[in-house]
Amino acid sequence: MSGNRAERGKRFADAMFSGVAAGLCLAVLAGVVFALAVTGGCLAVAMRPNARDFQPPREETLLATGYCNCQKCCGWKYTWYGRSVVAAGKNAGRPKKVGITASGTRARHGTIAADTSVYPVGTIVEIPGYGFGRVEDRGGAIRGRHVDLWFRRHSDAVKWGRRNVRVRVWLPRKK
């Protein structure tokens, strides 16, 4: 009788344990998926260049700087009635959509601003310490062998600073 009860207790404990283990696995899985989504892991996978659409990669050393959506990085300001506009230059006063790139995409980790006469929109660059990125934006001060890497936080852009980095570049094939 008591043996039977002990057996039942053990079975209950086993069931409990496997339930907890399954729950733990799910939690870990959810955590990994979440972390990938947050760090742009999914985007990085989407940015792997393929041979059909891209030329073979070439290695280059170029200047990599960082930027974010802020007024300081992107040169915009609010009008007195609260509209965001370009702060200076020939487009001063023109409406500015904050966080939207020159090609119309939403800026995120992996967004690169470059001189599109050198690196056309769609060019993929792998930058050590940053990961894969795609040229989607431009900037007045970005000329030649220079990429400006998007960061979510201004402090991260500042922390990145200015670096000369050895990168791999995949230029899109001409259509």
Torsion of CA 114, 117, 123, 124, to 10 degrees: -40
The nearer residue to Zn ion, 77 or 154, going by C-beta atoms, is: 154
The nearer residue to Zn ion, 154 or 168, going by C-beta atoms, is: 154
Q: How far is the CB of 108 from Zn ion (least distance, A)?
A: 14
| Span near Zn ion by CB under 5 A; candidates 2-10, 62-70, 85-93, 94-102 | 62-70
Please report whether residue 171 would count as binding Zn ion according to CB under 5 A. no
Q: Binding-site residue total for Zn ion (CB under 5 A)?
A: 4
The neighbour count for residue 129, using CB atoms within 10 Å, is: 9
Q: How far is the CB of 173 from Zn ion (least distance, A)?
A: 34
The nearer residue to Zn ion, 73 or 114, going by C-beta atoms, is: 73
* Helical spans, DSSP H, in 40-118: 41-46, 71-74
Angstrom distance (rounded) from CA 98 to CA 76: 8
The nearer residue to Zn ion, 73 or 124, going by C-beta atoms, is: 73
Binding residues for Zn ion restricted to 127-156, rule: CB under 5 A:
154
Which one-letter DSSP state was computed for residue 55?
Answer: P
CA gyration radius for the chain? 24
Please report whether residue 68 would count as binding Zn ion according to CB under 5 A. yes
Residues in the chain: 175
| Span near Zn ion by CB under 5 A; candidates 16-24, 70-78, 115-123, 125-133 | 70-78
Angstrom distance (rounded) from CA 29 to CA 41: 14
In contact, 57 and 47? CB cutoff 8 Å: no
Among residues 37, 70, 98, 141, which is the contact residue for Zn ion, using CB under 5 A? Answer: 70
The nearer residue to Zn ion, 40 or 49, going by C-beta atoms, is: 40
Please report whether residue 73 would count as binding Zn ion according to CB under 5 A. yes
Angstrom distance (rounded) from CA 122 to CA 136: 6
Backbone angles phi, psi at 58, to 5 degrees: -125, 150
Which spans of this chain sit near Zn ion (rule: CB under 5 A)? Answer: 68, 70, 73, 154
